[in-house]
Chain A
Amino acid sequence: GIQVEQSPPDLILQEGANSTLRCNFSDSVNNLQWFHQNPWGQLINLFYIPSGTKQNGRLSATTVATERYSLLYISSSQTTDSGVYFCAVKRSGGSNYKLTFGKGTLLTVNP
């Protein structure tokens, strides 16, 4: 099946710092989503971004499908940004409709 690798596995920031999270995937995809799992376990959908660039407030994401990677940018980080960030993809074609998740990046933002 498709492989999804996220880096870094852990990241510690001071409030106000910027960060870039990376997601590499091993096959062509027609769905890529970034999620934030908060300390209560909720999975919050950040971006649906199989290609191109999107921005939402302090967060933005870019997917270069031809090179099989996606980046999530967090600017002016806040303590509420803490949690695990997951990248999830769905391989193009075939009959497999599941999302495959990476292992996540654990982000800790200190005040």
Chain B
Amino acid sequence: DSGVTQTPKHLITATGQRVTLRCSPRSGDLSVYWYQQSLDQGLQFLIQYYNGEERAKGNILERFSAQQFPDLHSELNLSSLELGDSALYFCASSVGGQGGYGYTFGSGTRLTVV
């Protein structure tokens, strides 16, 4: 157990739907990062939050949004889902905002859009 908890582990949904992925960071970590792993794009950075505020954005689609709550857990919202959104979504956390002591990854949420 890495200490980063992601739920659910698996999600199957239909095109056009909206889903929410949840992440609880490792105790003491203030930063949360979201990554998407698809077969053709590899592991891509989506977005980072630090202590409740958005810190950096990567290749995140406008249909996707995220937030970090006061208890530091984070949610990634995916809407108007398309077949191409099927992927593994990882959450990672780090102590500071710059990952200076390494990043710890959760087990991922496998999203299948049918």
User: Which residues in A have some Cβ–Cβ distance to B below 8 Å?
Assistant: 30-31, 33, 35, 41-45, 48, 86, 88, 90, 95-101, 103-104
Flag if B110 contacts A99 (CB, 8 Å).
no
- Smallest CB separation, A30 vs chain B (Å): 7
**Interface SS majority for chain B:** strand
User: Which residues in B have some Cβ–Cβ distance to A below 8 Å?
Assistant: 2, 31, 33, 42-43, 45, 48, 55-56, 58, 88, 90, 92, 97-105, 107-108, 110
**Interface SS majority for chain A:** strand
> Max chain A CB contacts within 10 Å: which of B2, B42, B105?
B105
Determine the chain A residues whose CB is within 8 A of the CB of B102 once the complex forms: 31, 33, 45, 48
Flag if B58 contacts A98 (CB, 8 Å).
yes
Determine the chain A residues whose CB is within 8 A of the CB of B97 once the complex forms: 97
A31: which of B100, B104, B108 is its contact (CB, 8 Å)?
Answer: B100
Q: Which residue of B lies closest to A49 (CB)?
A: B102
Flag if B105 contacts A98 (CB, 8 Å).
no
- Smallest CB separation, B72 vs chain A (Å): 16
- Smallest CB separation, B81 vs chain A (Å): 20
19 extra interface residue pairs, beta carbon distance < 8 Å, beyond A31-B103, A33-B103, A103-B42: A30-B98, A31-B99, A31-B100, A41-B108, A42-B107, A42-B108, A43-B105, A45-B102, A45-B105, A48-B102, A90-B99, A96-B56, A97-B48, A97-B55, A98-B48, A99-B33, A99-B92, A99-B99, A99-B103
Give A44 to B100 CA distance when docked, in angstroms. Answer: 18
The 8 residue pairs across chains A and B that have the minimum distance between CB atoms: A48-B102, A98-B45, A101-B43, A43-B105, A42-B107, A97-B98, A31-B99, A90-B99
